[in-house]
Amino acid sequence: MTPDDDVLGRCPDCATKITRAWILIEYENTEGQTGVWAECPECDDVVEPQ
């Protein structure tokens, strides 16, 4: 498995697995936790993987 194949979670809209290859934005919030927004390869929505 390559780093781009690492699963971040699933799309909250269609439940498709989202891998690191689909990340659009990776950020750190004020509590120091890392968050991501990614494009779903199935429904083409920008989502926060669950």
**C-alpha count within 13 angstroms, C-beta hemisphere, residue 12:** 7
Per-residue confidence (pLDDT) for residue 2, from 0 to 100: 65
Per-residue confidence (pLDDT) for residue 5, from 0 to 100: 83
Per-residue confidence (pLDDT) for residue 14, from 0 to 100: 97
Return the closest-CA partner of residue 41 out of 3, 20, 2. Answer: 20
Per-residue confidence (pLDDT) for residue 18, from 0 to 100: 97
pLDDT in tens, the chain (50 residues): 567 789 999 999 999 999 999 999 999 999 999 999 999 999 999 999 99
